[in-house]
Structure 1
Amino acid sequence: MAGLPLSFAEPMLLLGLLSLPVLWWVLRVMPPRPRRLEFPPTRLLFDIAPREETPARTPWWLTALRLMAAALVILAAAGPVWNPQTGLAAATRAPLVILLDDGWSAASSWDIRIKAADELVAKADNDRRGVALIPLSEPARDITMMTGGTARVTLRQFVPKPYSIERVETLPAIERFLKATGDCEIAWLSDGVDTGRGQEFVEGLTKTIADRSLTIFEGGTPAPLALAGAENAAANMAVKVLRRDGGAIAGVVRALDQKGSPIGEARYAFAPQLRETEAAFDLPVELRNDIARLEIAGERSAGAVQLLDKRWRRRAIGIVSGSTSDTAQPLLASTFYLTRALAPFADVRLGDRGAPQQVITQFLDQKLPMIVLADVGTLSPEIRERISGWIAQGGVLVRFAGPHLAQADDDLVPVKLRHGGRSLGGSLTWEKPQHLAAFTAEGPFSGLGVPKDVTVTRQVLAEPDSVLATKTWATLEDGTPLVTGEHRGKGIVSLFHVSADMRWSDLPMSGTFVEMLRRIVDMSGYTSRPGAGVAGEATAEMVAPLHTLDGFGAFGPPPSTAKPLQADFRDRATPDHPPGFYGPADGPLAVNTLAAADRIAPIDTSPLRGQRASYSNAEPRDLRGMLLSGSLALFLIDATIVALLGVGIASLLRRRTAAAALAFVLIAPGILATSRQARAENDDFAIKATSQTRLAYVVTGNADVDSIVQAGMAGLTLFLAQRTALETGDPVGVDPAHDELAFFPLIYWPVVPGAAKPPQDAINRIDAYMKQGGTVLFDTRDAIEAAPGDGGAAQTPAMLALRNILSSLEVPELEPVPREHVLTKTFYLLRDFPGRFVSGQTWVEVLPRGEEEEDASRPARGGDGVSPIIITSNDLAGAWAIRPDGQPMLPLTPGEPRQREFAFRSGVNVVMYTLTGNYKADLVHAPALIERLGQ
């Protein structure tokens, strides 16, 4: 139905509603059943006089009740379905071809898209039609027709890609397949986003499908959000938040460091129809330099993540001028132009006081990563030696020419210089000022625009030799060098052959000057391999992928298709270079899904002729049962009323007592049904809990915590099935105040800071559960923030909440898990029990201490004495939590090798400990037994 998520399996049966007026007339004409009365003969004498009588009719309200019951029957017969499956109308036997957008922009609502595709495949499978699946991210993929069952299995293997897909590149393969297939039905599951060349794909698809049936799925899902263009400015860290379209929304961007720890949050807001906004982090520069990842809270896609590396750090850059300070004209000084050019992306430190060599010494002592020398001439041998060592360790030295440098003679320049200079009207004269030549594609300034209005009137010339061309980064139109540079050790030496002010060139006034300095600053911090190149910038080192993002924005190992890239890579992610970190762990290179200048827009599908359908996340619901039940209830009410009228108490129905009776007739079945439903729910819970061994967790009421814990317990259940012979059922969330706890061997209780103390009834149930052999694992999940308080006890909010819970429980004396405790060897041999964190301590009931040494070292009591309480702060469930695609839900801290594996092993040991008790306690005697066997 238009405007409602309602459809009918047999809509023609709705014509039966047209018979309701006729039925109304019939029911009104037919008199009600006559009443039976005692015959009084003498009464007839009083009614001898004839009079006209009107025959009795059925009351109008009873007629309306019957018509309502008949209407419900007709509607039920038509097969109504709420939230029906939208998609193709199965009016053909032609094969089904599904085009699937599977780039980063489809990831945030991936489950909904896969559900829609699965429904289409299921319908085609019922009709025994072939199915072809075409992911639009894989132009080289072989397109084959398959059965519905095979297609459903293949569909679940698809995952969104972490980069922007090029739909246009798949058109040739689609065209070849459609020519070979002939007639078919096509469904395009679009994400609605145009990241470039979208209209070209729509126009090409229009020609390719010709007259074939087409259904386009679009709408029904939130517009995907993305991040691009992060900039660490002088005042704050700002990042662009992008979307395709939509109304007014707001959200939060989170900042994380390299270990995944939060640093700060920044809010953003979109006005209606606005496609771009900004989130700014007002943090100290030291904290901003630690940011390694920006992400949109609640948005699961690689596009919603912006990774940052050393290039986004605001480096401290020292500027030293060899010219005499002119306080009368400060705006003409070289330091003014350099400061204005470097300030947008660096913290500039000026050496205004003292001799240049003293200022250089100060900057070297401060270990600045980059120093700019503007017309600094002769340097002492000691200073030159210190600068050379600083460059070899990774420092960047940028020098600008001037009268002092032209007369100097040192080796802290990339090329050998001629004494004197070349100027307009000099001995080495120009007829007119020289313009800049185009930057070479291989140099560090590749891609920068060449300003037409920039001219050079004087420069310092380089002595021509065999390596001059390899060290030239920029030239004038006559081929003479404008900028030269070379790599020395891990650092860089660069020279601008003009001054940093306006005396020799107007380059410092241009925006190109700012970008040239930005490129040089970006080059610092990355090692390069010396080699000959046309631009002389030394061939950049190739760096291999370290950690890459999947389509949902989660880190994982690099895929087998990921290839190394150059250390100066600046482009967006590609299939060969997925987003993530590349290179060494101590200084990786960040590759992002979107480049700084990328923007997204809605894709216009209006040129395509075909049906339009929307995605739906709601499950279809058949309404026939509900309508038939309602109809039956109305018929029962009608029969009751007729029976009452037939026995002569119709007058009661005209009074309040009749209304109360009728209300009781209507309400009583509901009360009885509710009572039966409550008993049935309790029985279902007991059957579910006892039919299979299950782990349980306490539902806290905090949606975020409960979802993570549920995913964590499910992950542990899966790990148990894969690594052990124990096959547990799905984990169960319990409320200690209402649910029976005796069914579960282990209950995981995540402690939420600030949560209210459970009611006493819940405390009593927990106390009884622990005394009857059950184990409760309390996890405060705060090891990363736990700091010892008075007496060595942690004072975190979660620990205070735990103490509030335990204050009403009879808790035994506790101790850290001893080295020989049976918990350390129930399945795996462990020494500690890490989770998301590794610094937390795990506590169990104190072991009994006997008089003899053997009794004192025994790790469990007789009778399978299992500790009724285990306390940790390592966030075990957070480490166990996995998403539906099998990837971890949360990062680890500090992310040690195999930390998540050992977290799962810790969970296995805890489960085995609660199930089997001390059956492995005798392992503590293994050394003595082996010694006896040796004797």
Structure 2
Amino acid sequence: MIQFAYPFILIALAALPMIWLLLRAVPPTPVQRTFAAVTLLLGLKDKDQVSERTPWWLLLMRMIALGAIILGLAKPELRYGENGFTQDRMLIVLDGGFAHEKFAQGHREQIETLLSSAETDQKLIAVLDIAYPDALDWQTAAFHQERLANWTPKPWVPNFEESFDSVASISSSYDTVWFSDGLEYGNQRLALLDVLQDRGNVEIRAPSGDIGVLQSVSRDGDELIAQVSFSNAPSGVPNVVFRGLTPSGARAEFARLPVSLDTLTAAVSLPAELSARLTDVVLEGEHHSGAIVHVSDYLARPRVGLFSIDPSEEVAELLQPLHYLRTALRQNAEIVEQSLDDILLSKPAAIFVTDVSRLPNEADLVNWVTNGGTLVQFAGPTTALNTVDLGASELMPVRLRQGGRQLGGAMTWETPKQLAPFSRQSPFFGLEIPDDIVVNAQVLAEPDADLSSRVIAELSDGTPLVTRMAMGDGQVVFFHITANADWSNLALSELFIDMSKRLVSRALALDSTEIPDDMTWKSVKLIDHVGALVDPEIPILVSSEQLMSSGISAEVPGGMYTSDDFTIARNIGAGVGDIRPMKWPA
């Protein structure tokens, strides 16, 4: 329906007939007088003739142009869908969630037109943003125009429960225009619609386009697999783009793959160098926060060096000192077994060393650790006999006693010891310790003032089992037992694999069962409405329970969270699940 902002100007249209008559008027017929000299001009004809009256078609065109000017000055406005609106109040409802960003610009323009019409009709307006609901505030249209000028959707799903409470608490009558993102959110949307229809007429403005969501990116061996979901079958084949940083720090595209419409996945195998620098994965063609997955270190496949002075190739495989480390690390890391010089040249994230009296290339190793490397050493018979040499090394976190400690057997009164629960400060905190894991022998640490702060795992009698020392940006870790089953059955357990993973990567996947319950997480980056990472105005602190059990919301928004040495990426798509188009009731 067309209405006018200044209808009084239309009165000028009534003057058009008078203007027509004025334009049609001609001067009176001149008085004729006989003039003898004019006879000389008889027979001559004037090539240019002037009409006695203005042609009718020209007058009609002038009238149409004048009428158009009058209509334009009256400011006509198209008000579609408002034929049934009779209330003096109007509620504007916005889904406002992550998917709304794809259609936000078009809806902003419609809202601007709607508010202009409401201002002319002097209607009171309230706005309900379902993603961030608040009590309805009835104000003038001009007031809301200022507020909605910079409105942006929120990077989480709409909150229908609180929105229902906001609407149900007001019993007055009003009409509603609902700007929807077109997705189905169970029965919650329909329950809110029923309440709004009880208050007055409801008009739904839903987009016709489909929505795509990037739900997750997981690792399966060497492959990275992106899982997507669509509200409707896409018209074309969208691409998934894997992006990261170059060695110079510039953003780069590592891979671009079409989505398989059969499995709704896209899989790629990236070299370890690129996998370690991967920052995010994007579903192309979608412009909202649910189409991007920011990755933390859990997706990286770090390069890990394994080194032993005596590889013992003639010994049975199960007795080799490096065998259990290979088994523990091969699913999550690229393993390099070469000389120590060659391992350092490969720029590993961590190096595991078994039973050496003194490391070669110690100066190079110190420099590598200081720059962020993790050196993990294991004890053994050689270590037990050379504690004096090891005590002088910069790469040993504690001083060691000469010899070792035997637990169990005919020559000792002591029995094998179990592991004590990991402390809150340990990187192994939260890992479950099986009751059947025991230690039969170990090398002992010399007590000193720094010992207690460097113990990250201990036996049930308080004896250090694993010690650690920070060095620059890196760390050195020492297991006071062997890397095989000679001194303990730890190497035969799943716990050994989990402990090794914790040392190689300080990041955890959100869906990992390894996340300890008793931890506090701090937001260091938050995801905005277009999926970019931004600095939080005020860091958010949440518990592990909130982080694991809550969906993405205003209380626990998506982003990067850290706690101690761990980093978690909380992405929008992970909590959305499969998406479906909304089928509005007729």
Using the size of structure 2 for normalisation, the TM-score is 0.64
Residue 229 in structure 1 maps to residue 217 in structure 2? yes
- Confirm or deny that 1:255 pairs with 2:242: yes
Equivalent residue number for residue 226 of structure 2: 240
Letter in 1 for 2:209: T
Q: Write out aligned runs for 1:301-320 (5 A).
A: 301-308=288-295, 312-320=299-307
- CA deviation string 1:487-510 (max 9, x = no partner): 111111123344333344444444
**CA displacement, residues 718-767 of structure 1 (integer Å, 9 cap, x when unaligned):** xxxxxxxxxxxxxxxxxxxxxxxxxxxxxxxxxxxxxxxxxxxxxxxxxx
1:420 is matched with 404
Matches within 5 A, 1:541-580: 550-553=528-531, 558=534, 561=537, 563=539
1:501 aligns with: 484
**Who is 1:928 aligned against?**
none
Partner of 2:351: 371
For residues 823-865 of structure 1, the C-alpha deviation after alignment (integer angstroms, 9 at most, x for no partner) is xxxxxxxxxxxxxxxxxxxxxxxxxxxxxxxxxxxxxxxxxxx
- Which residue does 1:835 correspond to in 2? none
Residue-by-residue CA offset, 1:558-604 (whole Å, 9 max, x unaligned) = 467264999xxx99988699878999xxxxx9985518965523489
Residue 457 (structure 1) aligned with residue 452 (structure 2): no
Deviations 1:519-558 (A, max 9, x none): 322249xxxxxxxxxx9xxx99x9976xx76422467xx4
SS in 2 for 1:601: coil
- Match of 2:336, SS state, is strand
1:470 aligns with 2:453: yes
Shift of residue 300, structure 1, vs aligned partner: 1.1
Q: Match of 2:237, SS?
A: strand
Counterpart for residue 260 of structure 2: 269
Match of 1:37 in 2: none
1:278 and 1:454 mapped to 2: Cα distance? Answer: 41
Deviation at 1:336, TM superposition (A): 2.5
Structure 2 letter corresponding to 1:155: L
Match of 1:344 in 2: 331
Q: Deviations over 1:373-415 (max 9, x none)?
A: 12x13116x6444433432232210123333334442243334
- Structure having the higher strand fraction is 2
Q: 1:131-142 maps to which residues of 2 (within 5 A)?
A: 131-138=125-132
Say whether the 8 Å CA contact 2:183–2:231 is kept in structure 1.
no
* Amino acid of the structure 1 residue aligned with 2:439: T
**Distance verdict in 2 for CA 1:326–1:119, change over 3 Å:** same
Name the aligned partner's letter for residue 594 of structure 1. Answer: N
2:68 matched residue in structure 1: none
Q: Distance in 1 between matches of 2:527 and 2:448?
A: 47
For 1:753-768, what aligned pairs fall within 5 Å after superposition? Answer: none
* Partners of 1:191 and 1:404 in 2: CA distance: 67
Tell me which amino acid in the other structure corresponds to 1:444. Answer: P
Q: In structure 1, what residue type is equivalent to 2:226? A: K
Residue 169 of structure 2: SS of its match in structure 1? Answer: helix
Taking the aligned partners of 2:404 and 2:446, their CA distance within structure 1 comes to 12
Deviations 1:325-366 (A, max 9, x none): 254632453423222322233221114xxxxxxx33443455
Which residue matches 1:107?
A: 101
Q: Which residue of 1 aligns with 2:380?
A: 402
Instruction: Report the alpha carbon displacement of residue 317 of structure 1 after superposing the two structures with TM.
Output: 1.7
C-alpha displacement of 1:371: 1.0
Equivalent residue for 1:295, pick from 282, 290, 296: 282
- In the alignment of these two chains, the number of paired residues is 475
Q: C-alpha distance in 2, partners of 1:262/1:251?
A: 16
Deviations along 1:884-926, one digit per CA (max 9) or x if unpaired, are xxxxxxxxxxxxxxxxxxxxxxxxxxxxxxxxxxxxxxxxxxx
**SS of the residue 2:307 aligns to:** strand
Kept in 2: contact 1:244–1:600 (CA 8 A) = no
Specify the SS of the correspondent of 2:128: strand
Paired letter, 1:223: I
Return the letter of the residue paired with 1:229. V
Whole-Å separation in 2 of the counterparts to 1:415 and 1:457: 20
Matched to 2:229, the amino acid is: R
Match of 1:269, SS state, is coil
- The change in CA–CA distance for 1:129 and 1:514 in structure 2 (over 3 A counts) is farther
Distance (whole Å) between structure 2 residues aligned to residue 476 and residue 597 of structure 1: 39
Aligned to 1:96: 91
In 2, Cα distance between equivalents of 1:182 and 1:201: 22
More helix by percentage: 1
Asked if structure 2 preserves the Cα contact closer than 8 Å seen for 1:230 and 1:239, the reply is: yes
Q: Secondary structure, in 3 states, of the residue corresponding to 1:270?
A: coil
Which of 540, 560, 571 is 1:594 aligned to?
571
Q: Does the CA-based 8 Å contact 1:486-1:492 persist in structure 2?
A: yes
Query: What does 1:179-194 correspond to in 2, within 5 Å?
Result: 179=169, 182-184=172-174, 189-191=179-181
Please report how far the alpha carbon of residue 226 of structure 1 lies from its aligned counterpart in structure 2 after TM superposition: 1.7
How many angstroms apart in 2 are the aligned matches of 1:468 and 1:214? 73
SS of the aligned residue for 1:157 comes to coil
Contact kept, 8 Å, 1:228 with 1:598, in 2: the verdict is: no
Q: C-alpha offsets along residues 687-745 of structure 1, whole Å, 9 cap, x if unaligned?
A: xxxxxxxxxxxxxxxxxxxxxxxxxxxxxxxxxxxxxxxxxxxxxxxxxxxxxxxxxxx
Identity rate, percent? 23
Which deviations, in whole Å up to 9, do the C-alpha atoms of 1:646-690 show, x marking residues without a partner?
xxxxxxxxxxxxxxxxxxxxxxxxxxxxxxxxxxxxxxxxxxxxx
Using the TM superposition, name which of 205-214 and 387-396 deviates more: 205-214
Letter in 1 for 2:156: S
1:880-891 alignment runs, 5 A limit: none
Give the structure 1 partner of residue 159 of structure 2. 167
How many Å separate the matches in 2 of 1:612 and 1:203? 9
TM-score normalised by the chain length of structure 1 = 0.43
Matching residue's letter, 2:268 = F
Q: CA RMSD in A?
A: 4.9
Paired residue secondary structure (2:216) = strand
Residue 71 of structure 1: aligned partner: none
CA distance in 2, matches of 1:474, 1:596: 37
Report the Cα distance in structure 1 between the residues aligned to 2:279 and 2:177, rounded to whole angstroms: 40
- CA, structure 1 residues 225+604, in 2 after alignment: closer, same or farther (shift >3 Å)? closer
Inter-CA distance 365–506: structure 2 relative to 1 (3 Å threshold): same
